[in-house]
Amino acid sequence: MSIVIHEDERDEYDPSHAVPTSAGRYYCDPMLGPDDPNRMKISVTNAIDQHMIEALAPAAARDTAIWLMDNLPAANRAAMDPDDVEAFIKEAKKQYRVQWDKKADLGSRVHAIGEAINLGKAYIPDEEAEPFVESYRQFLADFGVDLRRDIVAAECTVLNRTIPYGGTSDIWANLRFPGPTSPIMPRFKPRAVPADPIPTPSGLWLIDMKTSLTKPASAVYDDYLLQLAALRNAEVALVCPPSCRYGETDDHDASHEFAIPEFVGTAILNLRTNGYGFVPLPADQDAFDAFCGLLPLAHYVHGLEMRGFKPIQPPSKTTTRKDAA
């Protein structure tokens, strides 16, 4: 497999040890030398991208339609000339990506501030991120989370060296619930299935934060289960000093690593500008098996070289006529 590191795509908000490559995000294992074939580990979300997410095409269509409505006069002008039509469509096709990158950037900033809060560090105020940060503070207050007592880890790199893969886990927090289950919030009670209370054992939870300006606080997707299962089943967490970043130095040693603890539960924390939703999701063995099933697919696809595959000449032409081209 020839995965090329894209140095120019590195971003200040990239998680520790994450490396952008020609095949999406990978994590660099600082314990392994530059020649070790297992040094680069596929990222959890990169592997999950191999799973066709049905909602992505309609979401892209929606953002394209919104952009078109914002640019109707230009669309009308372009419609007069076939060349302009082509240029306009080319521009329109890029717009959902522009919107998604903006959302991803806002999400990264919220995560960075969340991490700063968890670590008790100061952060630079960010007007756009602030409503989400406010919702995060509300979650901490509502769930009785004491940062120093209850937050075990924040934004840490995790690796599974056996399988292998890598990822970033947002929050590990000790949560206390009054009973073994918790009722669903009345306004989110499902109509099509029984509104059973949801298991909420007290203990250490693995929590992944999601930000959105448009989706309700109840929005969860099947790929979240795969992601949570992969993070909970990683083997080691890295707590490297900055000198280890990207594994480019030889500073790394076993004291920067610790075994990933057992979690009593896994959940998504949906942060919104007007509140939050804490949704426990059972990232169980089946979810983990499903995630592991995506890895061979991802590795196969990332290793493919398709450029040499072209239509051949029919046998009759090959023997009767020299190829002029």
* Nearer Cβ to Zn ion (241/315): 241
Q: What is the C-alpha to C-alpha distance for residues 26 and 42, in angstroms, rounded to an integer?
A: 4
- Tell me the two tokens of residue 61: 């269509």
* Nearer Cβ to Zn ion (207/237): 237
Instruction: Say if CB 159 and CB 238 are below 8 A apart.
Output: yes
Mask of contacts with Zn ion, 235-274, x by CB under 5 A? -----x---x-------x---x------------------
* Nearer Cβ to Zn ion (109/252): 252
Min dist. Cβ of residue 209 to Zn ion (A): 24
What does the chain come to in residues? 325
Min dist. Cβ of residue 248 to Zn ion (A): 11
Angle at 158 between CA 153 and CA 164, to 5 degrees: 165
Mask of contacts with Zn ion, 190-229, x by CB under 5 A? ----------------------------------------
| Residue whose C-alpha is closest to residue 117's, from 102, 101, 138, 103 | 138
Q: What is the C-alpha to C-alpha distance for residues 256 and 247, in angstroms, rounded to an integer?
A: 12
* Nearer Cβ to Zn ion (23/244): 244
Min dist. Cβ of residue 239 to Zn ion (A): 8
* Nearer Cβ to Zn ion (255/316): 255
- Only one of the segments 25-33, 54-62, 81-89, 103-111 lies at the binding site for Zn ion (rule: CB under 5 A); that segment is 25-33
Interactions with Zn ion, residue window 138-177 (CB under 5 A): none
Cis status, amide bond into 199, omega within 30 of 0: no
Q: H helices within the chain, ranges in order?
A: 44-48, 56-70, 72-78, 82-118, 130-142, 147-150, 222-232, 285-303, 315-320
Min dist. Cβ of residue 249 to Zn ion (A): 9
Min dist. Cβ of residue 119 to Zn ion (A): 18
Min dist. Cβ of residue 234 to Zn ion (A): 16
> What DSSP assignment string belongs to 43-77?
BHHHHHTTS--TTHHHHHHHHHHHHHHHTHHHHHH
Give the interface with Zn ion as residue ranges (CB under 5 A).
Answer: 30, 240, 244, 252, 256
